[in-house]
């Protein structure tokens, strides 16, 4: 059955339909004729794809296509002016580098594929370009690793995380990145200023883990890495950018947008780093600007997607646990109402602090650490997340929701400032 709002859209070669799904209802779309892609993911013919509320994306075609849309859209328009040819040129140059590494006679461990760090201001299209480069590489048979350092609007899992995942096949534009092989560290905050030292430490831990993983996997090593970063490019944000570029030994820094000062500053501060190239690309005019309130809405929506699924197709389980069966910790001393970091307040930003279990935990999103030893919390990845819905002081029981029916895989829980209010 088709709804009354179904319509067809014809796209000319090298044009794209830019769409912003409305807040209250999903949108269905399918490819009828020709070839088209979203974030570098080639759309299947005649298959309806449902896009959730708030999602923004563009349907691009190289040679022309006809698509069909079912539903109302908050914002849409067609544009023939896109940077896609330039983005594809970058992809082709990365392919050459990957093949060169594969054919190299150098020591296999020291020979590495491209490591691309994408930087730019907020709403410059960093995540979109990252997805394109990853999907195009996967389509050509490579298995690059996506590294997500953007704690404000994380793409792999919930906000407040520093994570990485291997990409073995093009990523579905709705379902998103695979979680089964992901390495996830919980920062616990949407703003790095809450604990700058912890953010840098988690980046270093992730780099160490990936280096160890690549040492025994020549295919992943040759395929390289693509990094998404925060749109925080001044003051402390700029310092964190430099730290990430050095820590992961980047080979290419792509700066999106008219950011001449940023490009010049990076070149100056990284002039002694060997084999590092810089590329300044125009950002797509189709990037939608997002207000601070809208970003908060997106973060809440991303957390909801973790528990319920992007299309609300997952079961959520309400479970209880005794106070004595779990231990809750926080990393560093932070105050949610304060804009100053733990270091600025004179506290140890990496101190593991036990948290008293009481009503202030309600609506907190807690990470489940794999470690059984509190002193190993920072160096350990997390198994997943739960959200606290009630704390019964009299009965000494915590009620939480989880996307899994299984018991908690660990008693060690990590608290930050991240909350989720179930809608």
Residue numbering of the annotated binding site for ATP: 16, 123-128
Q: What is the DSSP string of 326-350?
A: -EEEEES---TT--S-TTTTTS-TT
Distances in whole angstroms, Cα of residue 321 to Cα of each of 123, 392, 406: 41, 10, 12
Pick left, alpha or beta for residue 118 (phi over 0 → left; psi -120 to 50 → alpha; otherwise beta): beta
Burial letters 238-271, b for 16+ CB under 10 A, else e: bebbebbbeebebbbbbbbbebeebbebbeeebe
Q: Is 374 helix (H, G, I), strand (E, B) or coil?
A: helix
Give 102-108's long-range contacts (Cβ < 8 A, gap of 24+): 102/222, 108/218, 108/221
Q: Which residues are annotated as a binding site?
A: 16, 123-128
Cα dihedral across residues 304, 309, 311, 317: positive or negative: negative
**Helix (H) or strand (E) segment spanning residue 60:** strand 56-61
Distance, CA of 312 to CA of 229 (rounded, Å): 28
């Amino acid at each position: 059955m088709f709804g009354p709002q179904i319509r067809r859209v014809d796209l000319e070669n090298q044009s794209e339909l830019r769409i912003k799904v409305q807040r209250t209802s999903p949108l269905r779309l399918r490819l009828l004729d020709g070839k088209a892609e979203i974030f570098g993911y080639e759309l299947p013919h005649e298959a309806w794809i449902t896009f959730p509320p708030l999602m923004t994306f563009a349907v691009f075609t190289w040679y022309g296509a006809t698509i069909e849309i079912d539903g109302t859209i908050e914002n849409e328009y067609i544009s023939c002016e896109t940077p896609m040819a330039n983005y594809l040129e970058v992809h082709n140059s990365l392919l050459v580098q990957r093949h060169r590494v594969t054919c190299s006679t150098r020591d296999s461990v020291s020979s590495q594929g491209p490591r691309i760090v994408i930087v730019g201001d907020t709403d410059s299209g960093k995540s979109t370009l990252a997805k394109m480069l990853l999907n195009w590489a996967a389509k050509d048979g490579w298995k690059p690793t996506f590294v997500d350092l953007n704690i404000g609007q994380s793409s792999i899992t919930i906000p407040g995380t520093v994570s990485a995942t291997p990409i073995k096949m093009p990523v579905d534009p709705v379902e998103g990145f695979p979680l089964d092989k992901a390495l996830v560290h919980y920062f616990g905050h949407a703003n790095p200023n809450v604990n700058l030292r912890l953010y840098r430490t988690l980046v270093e831990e992730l780099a160490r883990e990936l280096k160890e993983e690549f040492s025994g996997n020549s295919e992943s090593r040759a395929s390289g890495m693509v990094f998404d970063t925060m749109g925080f490019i001044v003051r402390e944000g700029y310092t964190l950018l430099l730290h990430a570029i050095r820590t992961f030994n980047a080979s290419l820094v792509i700066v999106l947008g008219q950011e001449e000062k940023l490009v010049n500053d990076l070149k100056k501060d990284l002039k002694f780093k060997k084999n590092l190239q810089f590329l300044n690309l125009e950002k797509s005019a189709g990037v939608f600007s997002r207000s601070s309130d809208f970003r908060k809405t997106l973060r809440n929506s991303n957390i909801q997607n973790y528990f319920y699924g992007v299309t609300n197709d997952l079961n959520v389980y309400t479970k209880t646990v005794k106070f004595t069966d779990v231990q809750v910790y926080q990393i560093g001393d932070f105050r949610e109402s304060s804009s100053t970091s733990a270091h600025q307040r004179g506290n140890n930003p990496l101190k593991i602090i036990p948290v008293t279990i009481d009503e202030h935990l309600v609506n907190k999103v807690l990470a489940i650490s794999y470690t059984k030893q509190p002193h190993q919390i920072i160096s350990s990845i997390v198994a997943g997340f739960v959200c606290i819905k009630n704390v019964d002081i009299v009965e000494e029981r915590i009620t939480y929701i989880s996307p899994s029916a299984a018991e908690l895989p660990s008693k060690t829980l990590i608290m930050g400032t991240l909350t989720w209010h179930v809608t």
